[in-house]
Structure 1
Amino acid sequence: MALAGEFEALAGRDTWVFDLDNTLYPAECDLFAEIDQRMTDFVAGFLRMEREEARALQKRYYAEHGTTLRGMMTMHGMSPEDFLAHVHEIDLSPLPHLPDLCEVIAALPGRKLVYTNGSRRHAERVTEYMKLGASFDGLFGIEDSDYTPKPTQSAYDAFCRHHDVDPARAVFFEDLERNLKPAHAMGFATVLVHSKKDWSHEPVEARPAGANDANHPHVDYLTDDLTGFLQGVLQVVRPEVIRGS
């Protein structure tokens, strides 16, 4: 794994792919808590079961199918649209406005894309709320991969086809280490965005990455400060921006 500050390997990369939740905003915002509760509510209503039973099923489907959504579609023939609309209509007020992040993403050379296992509408809401919408050239939601989630290889293939991405010229930012493995194998440079907070008390599916998750050959860079990391990248890929600031 390259050390923070050693960004020369990123020179010439001109496509910047960002996961959304717990990557573009700090994991400490804990938006997942509300999404998680709304998923339980939906499963309970759809299957007409008690909430405790629905929650256990929700977690099992996440483990077995990659997302609760995929499990519900596969096992119960659920249509995904209503599920996604329900679980992602959340209160965004915990999200910060990060003007320095907006500025540094806008300054990156080439295209900037969001790739999320959530819906495209969720990505639109979050990026607009954070005033990041104008910084991105495209958003890719789970509906764009036929509801197949990361880290399934076909989902990455669909993303690259949809946005005409050459992984050898791209950088992939994620908060889940497992989602970087296929990206690295395809040729993306990979960045694991981790949280400083102790999340050990949270369920596994709710935990953002920690520093120890970087101990894998498919993680090229590790950071707990996305804005600072990108400012360091700009010193290599666009030094004139740094000099002029």
Structure 2
Amino acid sequence: MNIISSVEPHAHVSSPESRRFSHVDTWIFDLDNTLYPHTSRVWPQVDERITLYIANLFGIDGLSARSLQKYFYHKYGTTLRALIDEYDIDPYDFLDFAHDIDHTDIELNASLGEAIEKLPGRKLILTNGSRKHAENVSKKLGIFDHFEDVFDIAAANFVPKPDRRAYEMFLEKHAVEPSRSAMFEDIAKNLVVPHELGMTTTLIVPKTVDPFREEFEQEAVKTPHIDHITNDLADFLRDCVVSARP
């Protein structure tokens, strides 16, 4: 399947065998490219800051730094994990540098806030970014107050999704029962473990192709570990989740 943004403005895809939401009492959301659209220009800035960090760290040019960054990302899941394991960097310095961005283009999303507020039960953010980054972005979106807590990369001892250990640490810390939970995420591989643990999974894809992200990160992949696919999270929560509950 191609990116469903090419099908229609508000597209939702669910297979007949997919898990539903009637039993869910804990709602778990990734942050980057899940709770905001790529037009907010958040991730491109973070990505550029990571490249600059690598260039400064190794004293290399931008193209070389970019190539090394992508190598780290594909091998370790995150550039940060690679830099910790191979070069023993200070992860907090890295996160502060990477997330020092301009939030001007992040728009208040009242419809998303209303949809999240109506979800019955707990709402949590599970991110490979920092708590500060999650707070800054979600406050600009106008949704921060709807969440009980943020579980960031530091809380996971810098073990990133999709590593099973990251999810297990999250579940233990927040006493979450996965079989009564739903996970919303923009990268398909990050939903494999949540589905294996018993969560209802939803993949968020962009409405239009994001030129700053790799193709595999935007694919609306139809696989057994993805129960639902949407390119409009607020609309999906309102029409396919809240309205469908008893």
What TM-score, normalized by structure 1, do the two folds share?
Answer: 0.89
- CA drift of 1:228 comes to 0.9
What is the rounded CA distance, in whole Å, between the counterparts of 1:197 and 1:161 in structure 2? 37
Could you say which residue in structure 1 is the equivalent of 2:77?
Answer: 66
Q: State the alpha-carbon separation in 2 of the partners of residues 93 and 4 from structure 1.
A: 38
The partner residue of 2:53 within 42, 65, 73 is 42
SS in 2 for 1:114: strand
Q: Of 131, 135, 148, which residue of structure 2 is paired with 1:137?
A: 148
* Structure 1 Cα separation of the partners of residues 104 and 18 of structure 2: 34
| 1:6 positional shift | 9.8
Q: What is the CA–CA distance in structure 1 between the aligned matches of 2:209 and 2:16, rounded to whole Å?
A: 25
1:225-240 to structure 2, matched below 5 A, reads 225-232=232-239, 233-237=241-245
Check conservation: 1:196, 1:210, Cα contact below 8 A. Answer: no
Q: Name the CA distance, whole Å, in 2 between partners of 1:56 and 1:7.
A: 38
Structure 1: segments with no counterpart, 5+ residues: 240-245
Aligned counterparts, 1:1-245, within 5 A: 3=14, 9-199=20-210, 202=212, 204=214, 208-211=217-220, 213=221, 215-232=222-239, 233-237=241-245
CA RMSD of aligned residues (A): 2.1
Higher relative contact order (CA 8 A, sep 6+): 2
One-letter amino acid matched to 2:244: V
Question: 1:65 & 1:4 partners in 2: Cα distance?
Answer: 32
Instruction: For structure 2, list consecutive stretches of 5 or more residues without a partner in the other structure.
Output: 1-11
> Which residue type is aligned with residue 235 of structure 2?
G
> Aligned in 2, Cα 1:46/1:106: closer, same or farther, shift over 3 Å?
same
- CA distance in 2 between counterparts of 1:131 and 1:196 reads 21
Distance 1:20 1:5 in 2: 28
Greater per-residue helix proportion: 1
Does the residue aligned with 2:202 lie in a helix, a strand or coil? strand
String of CA shifts for 1:65-94, please: whole Å, max 9, x gaps: 110001111111111010000101111111
Deviation for aligned residue 1:203 = 5.1
Percent of pairs with identical residues: 37
Q: Distance in 1 between matches of 2:24 and 2:196?
A: 16
**Structure-2 separation of matches of 1:68 and 1:191:** 25
Change (3 A) 1:109 1:102: same
Structure 1 stretches (4+) deviating beyond 4 angstroms? 4-8
Taking the aligned partners of 1:63 and 1:22, their CA distance within structure 2 comes to 18
So what's the TM-score if we normalise by structure 2? 0.89
